[in-house]
Structures are given as structure tokens and as C-alpha cells.
Amino acid sequence: MKILLPPSETKRIGGDGAPLEFDSLALASLTPLRELVVDALRALAEDPERSQQVLKLSERQLGEIAHNHALRTAPTMPAIDRYTGVLYDALDAASASSASRRWIGQHVWVHSAPFGPVGALDGIPAYRLAAGTALPGVAPLRRHWADAVNTAIAEDRPSFTLDLRSEAYVALGPVPASIPSVYVRVVTEQGRALNHFNKKAKGELVRALAEDRPPARSFAALQKWATSRGVTLRMGQQQGIAELVVAS
């Protein structure tokens, strides 16, 4: 099983890992596309005024430009630790056991705008780029990434994929039809979509999976584990959509 997570706009800065090594990232076939985006971000950072406009930065966020300029030389940290925010706070990978972190590294991809999906323990630097940004020098990110990511996932051939990404990141790389997968929505018992609890529930789900490490190679196996954990995970009315049910 592979789990696809979205990134977060908020990130920890710094790190103690070696500078970015493209060849060490998961789904190595994406290296040329990653290099194009990274170099475009670095070139954009040469013009702070334009960077602020393109990246939609406030005055308090101008330090993000320096992060982009240093993408090839800055220290890295595991992607699962780089991101902060509701989902990643609920997952709390830093406090996970060594066995749980190994499981996360084997089973979780984090889908970022500059790097595409990377392994959860792959080292990445701090950066600023959102899925909807029109980055000068690069085709629209949806066109830049979608087909290549789709192909890379197909070549990896996971037995089953649990897609916890936002729709913006799904557009940057849909799971191929040849791979059994479900896209997860967080809902109430009555089926009402929940925005407030969405990210927290997904983070808690991944944390529970990392703690139990079930051999789930299909949605049916995942459902069986969820039931044993007191988690309600059910198929929705739409094909390929699963519902993670939480109290409102």
C-alpha cells in the first residue's frame, strides 16, 4: 500500500541533512521535471519583486524568497518532518517509534509542487510554491506534472493506493486507473463533508496506520483494520471515493 499526502504551506526551516540530491528521491524518473521547477524557482528568486507577485507573498513572507534561491544548497530534512500544520501536527511523525517511521518511509509519499511525490523520509529543503502558481519558465504545473507522475506511479506498481491529497494535488498527478485506489473524503455519519476536521482526521488515520502497520494490500483489508481500530472507513456512493467518518 502507498498513501499519498498533500504538502502544507507551512514548513519548518533549516535541517541537518545534506543539500538536495535529486537521485535519492522516490520515483527517480521525475528527476528532470524536478530540476526544471527548482531551477525556475531559483531564477525567479533573483527578482524579489517579481517573486513576491508570482508567489503571492505578504511583506511578512518575503523570507520565503531566500529559501527558493537556496534550493540546491540549503540543508534538508525528511519531508514528513518538513511540513507543519493541522494534518502533520495530528500525524506527529517526530514522536513516532523507529518502527513506525520506517513504515511511514516505506508506505507514504508526500506530493509537493516543486518535487512531485517524494518519499516521506526523503530529504527536501524549505521552499515556497503552491499547486496553483503560474511559475515563469515552466508549463502550468498541472501540465508539467500530471502525465509524468501518473506514469511514475504506474511504474512503481503499488498494490493499492490510499489518496489523501487535496484536489489541487490530485490534478498534479492522478493515480493511474491500472492501480487499485480510493480517494478519501472526511464526512459526518450523515455524509456531510467536513472541512474543519478534514486534515486532522487524515493525519490521525496515518498515525494509527503507522502504529499498527497492518498488511493492507486492498481497500477491503484496510477496512477490516479500520473496524478493529474503531475507525469508520466506508465506500461512498461515487466510484473510487471512500469516506472517513468522524463526529461533527
Q: What is the pLDDT of residue 209?
A: 98
Q: What is the pLDDT of residue 189?
A: 83
Cα separation of 9 and 7, whole Å? 7
Cα separation of 78 and 12, whole Å? 11
Establish how many alpha carbons lie within 13 A of residue 1's alpha carbon, considering only the half-sphere containing its beta carbon: 21
For the stretch 127-172, pLDDT in tens is 999 999 999 999 999 999 999 999 999 999 999 999 999 999 999 9
Domain residues for the domain of 166 are: 2-245
Which of 103-107, 224-228, 237-241 is the least confident region? 237-241
Q: What percent of the chain has pLDDT over 90?
A: 93
Q: What is the DSSP letter of 24?
A: G
What's the mean pLDDT when you consider all of the chain? 96
Cα separation of 206 and 221, whole Å? 15
Q: What is the pLDDT of residue 181?
A: 97
Q: Which residues contact 3 (CB under 8 A, 6 or more apart)?
A: 107, 108, 109, 161, 162, 164, 206, 209
For the stretch 40-67, pLDDT in tens is 999 999 999 999 999 999 999 999 999 9
Identify which has the larger pLDDT, 194 or 26. Answer: 26
For residue 29, CA distances in Å to 76, 142, 156, 222, 232 come to 21, 17, 10, 29, 36
Where residue 194 falls among pLDDT bands split at 50, 70, 90?
Answer: confident
Mean pLDDT of 2-27: 97
Taking the CB of residue 247, how many other CB atoms lie within 10 A of it? 8
pLDDT > 80? residue 195: no
Q: Which residue has the cell 502558481?
A: 133
DSSP 120-158: TTSEE------TT---TTS--HHHHHHHHHHHHHHHH--
Where residue 248 falls among pLDDT bands split at 50, 70, 90?
Answer: low
Q: What is the pLDDT of residue 51?
A: 97
Where residue 193 falls among pLDDT bands split at 50, 70, 90?
Answer: confident
E runs forming strands in the chain? 2-5, 77-78, 108-112, 116-119, 123-124, 161-163, 181-187, 232-235, 241-245
Task: Tell me how far apart the 2 most distant CA atoms of the chain are, in Å.
Answer: 54
Q: What is the pLDDT of residue 47?
A: 97
88, 80 contact by CB (below 8 A): yes
Query: For the chain, how many structural domains are there in total?
Result: 1
